[in-house]
Structure 1
Amino acid sequence: MSAHKSDKELAFLHDLYVATDWGERFAELVDEHVKLPKKGRALYVASGTGGHALALGARAGRDVELVCVDESEGRLELARAKAAAVKGLSVEFRHAQLEALAFEDEQFDLVVADASLVAPERLPEIISEMVRVAAPGATVSLSVATASSFGEFFSVYWEALTGAGYDEQAASVASLIEELPTVSDVEALARGEALEGVESWTSKEEFDFPSGGEFLAAPLVRDFLLGRWLDLLPNEEARAAVLGEVERIIDEDRHEGEFSLSVKAMIVVGRK
């Protein structure tokens, strides 16, 4: 759904509408369960527009050098502008692919990543890279959206696809549900990278929308979630028809109440 928006436009939308709500839910898990080093180097993977990374840097203090990486130059530009307004922080923002971090082995005393909007199939390579660049004894943490997330939408989506005559695509909704990793899956990824003392925590988050139209128009949904879900459909005409059905079904089913999209947020933490 974001195909016609530039990277810079998406970065502004992320900063205004995603980082301030979705991002804060996952950031709270980091703040609660990740202990910051007293000195050394820390790496923030998928740091977005930098708000939470800068908050971590401020908490860590002057003796911790913070390096942040993201795949979006637009988000990095906004993050650097924020960092320039903060005095006394040792922070650097770099462009990098999450599966190919441009650092030598064993460089960081803490590695955190927000993979909450990353395609699930990318997670094994991402956590492998995080562990590679972590120093012995370093803490490594990964935040993700896990199985049972988005269930309300997937139910409506299946009904909308069926109603619009896309029975084959409706059958494929199961693959969208099944691709989300379970808590055990994510813990297994961490243990598979030989992390010790692996622990995880979850929280159920809800995002409420007054109507089907406002759900579909919300930047979080329209620009950062729907694209992957709508890949099931062959063309823009089909997408428009199905989204019309989605809006209708939501509005009929909510009975003047709000439509809630639930997400099972998770953080896994281990030590190299």
Structure 2
Amino acid sequence: MRLRSIAITLLTSAAAVVAAVPAAADPVVLAGKYVALGDSYASGTGAGSYGSSGSCKRSANSYPQLWANANAPSAFAFVACSGAETTDVTAGQVSALTSDTALVTISVGGNDAGFADVMTDCNLGSDSACVQRNQQAQTYARNTLPGRLDAVYTQIRNRAPNARVVVLGYPHIYQLNGSCSVGLSETKRAAINQSSDVLAQVISGRAAAFGFTFLDGRPAFTGHEICASGTRWINSLTWPVDESYHPNSAGQRSGYYAILEAAA
């Protein structure tokens, strides 16, 4: 009976010790510090409600702000900015990262490849000029962009060694053979979508090389591109012109935020 009493006492004490030690938890689950980096697709340009962010056009409807609102991180640094290229991220945004950062999101690379010029040339030029400009952008994406992404991703990992890093890719701009009766030709739309495919391939490959999570914008926006018959989540040519061909508030919420919330 005495041995049994001692055993019960030891088991009870051990259980108390185990209960007193908190289980290891994912830092994102604990909603630690969150830093949002990147370009206009990350800042929410095209989704309205930019507050005092000036030309960076950081929207209250953007996926970073929506995630922060829903998850209440211990700190939130929203430094994504419209027009940003990879060099802008390394020069002016990564300083927001610290060793205690738990989550980093980033969308970048489209401006490096000349997305704005592609859309300008395709709106103003011929089919052949549009196709040629897209081919130039794709060549850049394959040959030069990987090194630029590596520079960004290296800085992120060095400055936030324990963070979960989520890289969000770009959607297709158009639904091919869709419901648009005016606007760009089907040849131009296909060329632009092909550039999105090349960007996705390159960005996902470099993200994987660093162990980062890649969230593909193409399936997230399927059925909601320009020329889709359903609700469109991407602006067509609009005013202000810099908000053209960017996700609107529905695209930020139902496209990007939805896949980010599911992943993080």
Whichever of the two has the greater Rg, that structure is 2
Q: Is the TM value for this pair above 0.5?
A: no
